Amino acid sequence: MPIIHSQTVIAETRQFRIETLELEFSSGQVRRYERLAKSGSSGAVLIVPMLDNETVLLVREYAAGVHRYELGLPKGKIDAGEDNLSAANRELKEEVGYGARQLHYLRTVSLAPAYLEHTIDIILAEDLYPERLVGDEPEELEVVPWSIREIPGLLASGECSEARSIAALYLVADYLTRR
């Protein structure tokens, strides 16, 4: 592993922190890297809620980064004192209006590990039951049932471009097939 000679915060917002790292590699080369780091977060979860063996529940939500509405999976941060499964069930209730009797951690993925510190835990939610909690979304999210076998159709629709959601859908489809 490279030796970290310095780590400096150059900007910070409510959600993000930009850091510079001065690193020395085993070759003796010293380089300066910038990364976008988490700001006061305990992690995050991405939930794949299965209404039944074939139907995943997606949400249509405004995505500020691309300035449009996107279909994707419910997600959110892990609050202080929560574990990833508790956070997943809370976020599911807030965003989709269901709780889950069965929650299964699949894996942790990163988005752009070369410059982004953020990772997210993919959680499969099954045996759903209706329950709604008040969330922090500025508007109610539209819940869209979709066949887990029709991921190519979802991608072809142009409504889902988030790599984390796409990866999670394929991981769950594979998991369900092998189970």
> Which stretch of 34-48, 62-76, 83-97, 139-153 has the lowest confidence by average pLDDT?
34-48
The structure tokens listed for 90 are 């809370």
Phi then psi for residue 100, to 5 deg, are -130, 135
Range of the structural domain that residue 32 is part of: 3-38
Mean pLDDT calculated for residue range 122-147: 94
pLDDT, position 37: 79
- What pLDDT is recorded for position 29? 94
Both 157 and 130 in one domain: the answer is yes
Q: Of 143 and 13, which is predicted with more confidence? A: 143
Instruction: Say yes or no: 61 and 114 in one domain.
Output: yes
| Same domain for 72 and 55 | yes
Whether the predicted pLDDT of 42 surpasses 80: no
Q: How confident is the model at residue 160 (pLDDT cuts 50, 70, 90)?
A: very high
- Please tell me whether residues 137 and 151 are part of one structural domain: yes
**Number of domains the chain contains:** 2
Predicted pLDDT of residue 138: 85
**CATH code, domain with 168:** 3.90.79.10
Closest by Cα among 20, 14, 81, 74 to 47:
74
Indicate if 34 and 114 belong to the same structural domain.
no
pLDDT score recorded for residue 118? 84
- Asked if the model's pLDDT at residue 28 lies above 90, the reply is yes
